Structure 1
């Protein structure tokens, strides 16, 4: 009997009421509807609740709950977020989601729908529950498991034993890990290889690190990778020291890890690509060809096919960059790209992702004076930059954030705005460019930090985000995980506008033109009809009709030309406005950069003036020392002359005594005359 009543054969109201009964929703539409059955995850139950209210009651007009009640607040958000969605559309989505979660739901409908209860005294069935839109459906059985109890479990402490125990969606939780935790750090590199998250380098209290740690995501156990002697290149076996670094990028490539660029104590002139072989546990510097980019840190490195796309960063002299380079991993050849269009302003610590293996997306980042929340797209086929219009809950400005892609969704976590860490985890649907907030954390937690890392793993077919480290006033070495739901994708599709904003501006003009065209056609048709009535001759009627039609065709052609010209002018005006806005934004950024540089220059000038004063004092002292030196030399010469004269006198005296003795004069006698 159930097979004969396939759900696809029912009209949407009937399918919806059957689905609502099966899902445990019923009673008065304004009641709490606490019958969502436990087979659904929390986010699905919430979404079904919102769609049910939208279909039966209409748009949410209930005031936002004042008291802090996570359950009621979540239910209100689910309903209110649907806006002015039509009742039939809400019914359709309700049934669609139910069929996605449980494709065989309709075969089990008789188990849950209660047949009308017969009133013995009246010998008539009790009336079905009537809802405001005039439809009705049977009262369902009461399901013991309630949506409130499902949601309340999210607020309890969750003890995890591996990723398989993550039971909540769209919330960050801290799993219990074993093993020796790595040193706390930020600006490190992280990559995933075969259910293992590798952490390399980073910054701790101003010190660059060079250790390689690994977290087994199946057992959530930390261990340190014992390294063997590094080699200069793939062709050479001569060992080289592994320089500690931070601000680098770590990319998994087959069974190897690639570390690209980064800040070091003694920076090189150009970017160095280091390779770690997971089988031999050795590091080596890879030999590359072509002109390598200048050394830098805080850049973005995105793997696209067999190439690495490197954008922006900060060089060793603290100069911000916005250049673009591609490294072909098959030939290990560098290629500097001169893309057309307006590129993002120079920046570092931004996020990058690739969509459909063709479009490179750049979001956020910072300069010395400010942070950004702009979104830029590079078409990797035409190598042309563009700045599309963002929709939804556009994120605030940030730098130092981390990101991963799951299908067409781009998740962005953490970062800072020069004041505090960013608490929202956001997601961008890269197909529709609609932003939405996944969750918000409270307090100073590691996922609201700068310089954290993020990877995405898979467990039982579900994707799980794993974050590590970061800095928000203190260094972190904690691990947090989040299991995203499909709700963000569905919300993005709901919020998607059928026409881009730039084209929507033309709607009033287009509608007005359509009204004018309709009125014009009506007037012309009336004139033709008058000519037909007033003329008795059929030939005159035909001639008049032909003349009127030619006149109408001429006017329509002229109107189409004017519309085309007007549309072209409006497009040019819109493009000029966009270019002007980008120029003003860039001018503002450059002005802030200039002010920052001026401040640095003033500090250097003050320091230079102080050094000049010190030099003048030293010169004066040096001149005094030279004068004293000359006086000392003069005194030394005078002393030497005096000693010489005394010696000569003594010698003469000694000589006179000898000659007197020879002449017979006693030595003690003296001549007085």
Structure 2
């Protein structure tokens, strides 16, 4: 049947086939060849997956065995849609195309709707080798070129367009190393980074066991390094003496107003409590901010998260005596007052080098970290309104245990890179959708690449409306001062929205477990009340039923049926609550096992120290014995020396007496007569 040009008034199947023909799927002779090559690779792959889902159904073919990144990416895009309905796939296909090209339907030629039966995996082509340009609305545009990089990733570049800075990043979801100018900072890890107005500031860190205190800046527009020479500042407003920043590592750097706030960190001569330093970006001076309340104990490896515009939340870390912490403190930047929080629920076990993020300005998320004996991959959530800890169920590709990783949020997505697991660096970059708590793997690098390092930094910068993640430094056997960037695609947001529709309500309820438990309890109470009402109804005598008639009987039966359904629902939720309690019990057992392992490790360290102490005591006893022997020998030597001196003196006297006559004769003195 002949149709007019595709328009917004067409039904979704008709609009879908029109859109598919326009994009170039299905092999229609009237389709616009090469249009698909204009889209970014993530969009093209998603369109391909939706097209296959709409025309073929769920992906039941096995994953391609041959290492072909294009084929595997296409299979992953299709397979990831699961059991999505065909109509939903059609709707999303048209919606994405309209978002990418709002006027696409005005360029669709007359065509005939026909079933599309080409289901081969090679239906999509990301590059048109026969054409050097794509014509749209009478204008010619340079054709994007698909490039397969060394690690098998796809990179799209325009042949005639040359961009500078972060704008030169043309590939999505792949780490690239841009060309950097200027003198690079010293290689380091456990430093801190923050972004202010297209500039990334790097402060402090650890290099070969020595703490640093330099402040470096990378201009993200020109990708040029330079060093910030800090002027002599003041200790505080009350004490105007010059202050010099002590070298530190494992600290936190927060952007606030026109300042960089440096909090905590390991130092050679640590103070008893956490200090707060501020760098004025206009005056280029450091100063110590006077705080009030009860400041936390000095530490490093903690997390400090800015909530809203004036609240800092600090969790965990390791103090100067290597004791792990899991305490919670809040600093009000307006009043500069510390407040220690005693939250309810089960907090994360003591740890350092974890990652933290805030979602919806209400929920604080803690992921991973390590103790002296092990690394974690658990996820904990703190409701900042009720101050209650919970441990929700994670879904998707749950990351492996790690510590020393770095994280940054883009919308509702939390990207995490790097880290280590006591054996090697972690190679995969992951993302957590904080609304659905679903993990996804963004990309994977080789183990020896600096991105698979502990103590690296990760920040986000916006370039022409697109977010770019920037990584610096780290340690994975050697110290790094390399810069890597990645441009995340929007497929994670789209996938999370689809997952959000598919995820049960219970996942969202895990954000607030107290309310969820209360709802379950209320349902149970409602079920109990319904049971009482059921018993009362059962006791209604037959005479009243006869009086009310058949209509009342049906109404009562309907009420009984509704009550039964409510009871069954309450029973189901009670079973769910029981299952959740069992899961919490299993998690508590796991934490107990980890604590036992850590206790054993500490006991081992204590035994080693005791053995070392005993050896030192033995050495001291031996040295004391040798010292006593030396004292005895010294006394004997002095006695012998005195005896020798006395003997020599006696011999001298005797000699003088025996030789007096001769000497007297020589001197002219007559000898004495006997």
Deviation string for 1:488-532 (max 9, x for gaps)?
A: 11112223433156799xxxxxxxxxxxxxxxxxxxxxxxxxxx9
1:456 aligned onto 2:455: no
Counterpart of 1:594 in 2: which secondary structure?
helix
Q: Find the counterpart in structure 2 of residue 68 from structure 1.
A: 67
1:398 aligned onto 2:402: yes
Shift of 1:333: 0.8
Return the alpha-carbon distance in structure 2 between the equivalents of residues 501 and 17 of structure 1. 37
* Structure 1 residues 6 and 28: alpha-carbon distance in aligned structure 2, compared to 1, 3 A threshold: closer
Q: Find the counterpart in structure 1 of residue 109 from structure 2.
A: 113
Return the alpha-carbon distance in structure 1 between the equivalents of residues 252 and 545 of structure 2. 83
**How high is the TM-score relative to the length of structure 2?**
0.81
Q: Find the counterpart in structure 2 of residue 608 from structure 1.
A: 613
1:248 aligned onto 2:267: no
Matched pairs, number: 603
Shift of 1:647: 11
Return the alpha-carbon distance in structure 1 between the equivalents of residues 250 and 204 of structure 2. 9
Return the alpha-carbon distance in structure 1 between the equivalents of residues 554 and 71 of structure 2. 65
* Structure 1 residues 217 and 602: alpha-carbon distance in aligned structure 2, compared to 1, 3 A threshold: same
Shift of 1:24: 1.9
Q: How does 1:328-367 map to 2 (within 5 A)?
A: 328-367=332-371
Shift of 1:483: 0.9
Q: Contact conserved, 1:42 with 1:151, CA < 8 A, in 2?
A: no
Return the alpha-carbon distance in structure 2 between the equivalents of residues 334 and 360 of structure 1. 18
* Structure 1 residues 148 and 232: alpha-carbon distance in aligned structure 2, compared to 1, 3 A threshold: closer
Shift of 1:346: 0.5
Shift of 1:624: 2.4
Deviation string for 1:30-61 (max 9, x for gaps)?
A: xxx98552332111011001100110011112
Q: Contact conserved, 1:360 with 1:379, CA < 8 A, in 2?
A: yes
Counterpart of 2:231 in 1: which secondary structure?
coil
Q: Find the counterpart in structure 2 of residue 473 from structure 1.
A: 477
Q: Find the counterpart in structure 1 of residue 667 from structure 2.
A: none
Return the alpha-carbon distance in structure 2 between the equivalents of residues 620 and 541 of structure 1. 111
Q: How does 1:369-384 map to 2 (within 5 A)?
A: 369-384=373-388
Shift of 1:639: 7.3
Give the counterpart of 1:295 among 279, 293, 298.
Answer: 298
Return the alpha-carbon distance in structure 2 between the equivalents of residues 247 and 148 of structure 1. 43
Q: How does 1:161-180 map to 2 (within 5 A)?
A: 161-180=164-183
Return the alpha-carbon distance in structure 1 between the equivalents of residues 289 and 548 of structure 2. 85
Return the alpha-carbon distance in structure 2 between the equivalents of residues 572 and 42 of structure 1. 44
Deviation string for 1:73-130 (max 9, x for gaps)?
A: 1111111111121111111111111122222222x2xx333435xxxxxxxxxxx642
Shift of 1:610: 0.9
Q: Find the counterpart in structure 2 of residue 232 from structure 1.
A: 235
Q: Find the counterpart in structure 1 of residue 526 from structure 2.
A: none
Shift of 1:16: 0.8
Counterpart of 1:372 in 2: which secondary structure?
strand
Q: Find the counterpart in structure 1 of residue 200 from structure 2.
A: 197
- List alignment gaps of at least 5 residues for structure 2: 119-126, 135-142, 510-541, 662-669
Shift of 1:28: 8.3
Give the counterpart of 2:278 among 257, 263, 275.
Answer: 275
**CA RMSD across the alignment:** 3.6
Q: Contact conserved, 1:401 with 1:414, CA < 8 A, in 2?
A: yes
Return the alpha-carbon distance in structure 1 between the equivalents of residues 582 and 181 of structure 2. 56
Counterpart of 1:292 in 2: which secondary structure?
coil
Which one has a bigger Cα radius of gyration? 1
Q: Find the counterpart in structure 2 of residue 130 from structure 1.
A: 115
**How high is the TM-score relative to the length of structure 1?**
0.81
Q: Contact conserved, 1:447 with 1:470, CA < 8 A, in 2?
A: yes
Q: Find the counterpart in structure 1 of residue 25 from structure 2.
A: 25
Return the alpha-carbon distance in structure 2 between the equivalents of residues 443 and 613 of structure 1. 46
Return the alpha-carbon distance in structure 1 between the equivalents of residues 155 and 239 of structure 2. 56
- List alignment gaps of at least 5 residues for structure 1: 117-127, 134-141, 505-531, 533-537, 658-665
Return the alpha-carbon distance in structure 2 between the equivalents of residues 202 and 453 of structure 1. 10
* Structure 1 residues 92 and 629: alpha-carbon distance in aligned structure 2, compared to 1, 3 A threshold: same
Shift of 1:580: 1.2
Q: Find the counterpart in structure 1 of residue 514 from structure 2.
A: none
